[in-house]
Amino acid sequence: MISVRPAESGDRGDWLGLRRALWPEGSEAEHAKEIGDYFNGTSKAPHAVLLAFDSAHCPVGLAELSIRWCAEGCRTDHVAYLEGWYVVPEARRTGVGRALITAAEEWARVHGCSEFASDADSANEGSARAHLAVGFEEVGLVRCFRKIL
């Protein structure tokens, strides 16, 4: 049995662990600060965080959500955006990812969104398959560039 609910202040450790697994390039201190900013109301994003727990109440997944004024392939200016989506490896292909997306879609509807967007690294085939499996459609592949001046 999977349960999905919004993150609460007491979930900081669980959220931190999941976040570090999703974005290992960030330091623990950086992630902890962003989590603190979220609960203090000083964070620009995410706007919502959903956590998934298994029947033993162990954290098995997260979805970080925001609302963007534009997103690739979208037509509206109020788009729910999946900023981060992670399921622990041992819980993949068990419905956790789908449960998180279903809860995220409900959050988006409640917040007046009619479109839901996301992105994934172009080389991340597992993420692409997971997105397609829960109903996203691929709308493009973007390469980003920068130049330090």
- The crossing angle, in degrees rounded to 10, of helices 12-22 and 28-40 is 130
Across 72-81, average pLDDT: 93
DSSP string of 44-58? SS-SEEEEEE-TT--
pLDDT band at 75 (very low <50, low <70, confident <90, very high): very high
Q: Is the pLDDT of residue 146 over 90?
A: no
Across 55-81, average pLDDT: 95
Q: Is the pLDDT of residue 143 over 80?
A: no
User: Which pLDDT value is given to residue 109?
Assistant: 97
pLDDT tens-digit readout, 104-127 = 999 999 999 999 999 998 889 999
User: Which pLDDT value is given to residue 45?
Assistant: 92
Question: Cα(149)–Cα(89) distance, rounded to whole angstroms?
Answer: 40
Q: Is the pLDDT of residue 131 over 80?
A: yes
pLDDT band at 92 (very low <50, low <70, confident <90, very high): very high
Question: Cα(102)–Cα(130) distance, rounded to whole angstroms?
Answer: 13
Neighbour-count burial of 27, counting CB atoms closer than 10 A to its CB (0-12 exposed, 13-18 middle, 19+ buried)? exposed
The sign one gets for the Cα dihedral 15, 92, 111, 83 is: positive
3-state secondary structure of 97: helix
Give 81's DSSP letter.
E
pLDDT band at 140 (very low <50, low <70, confident <90, very high): confident
Question: Looking at the whole model, is its pTM more than 0.75?
Answer: yes
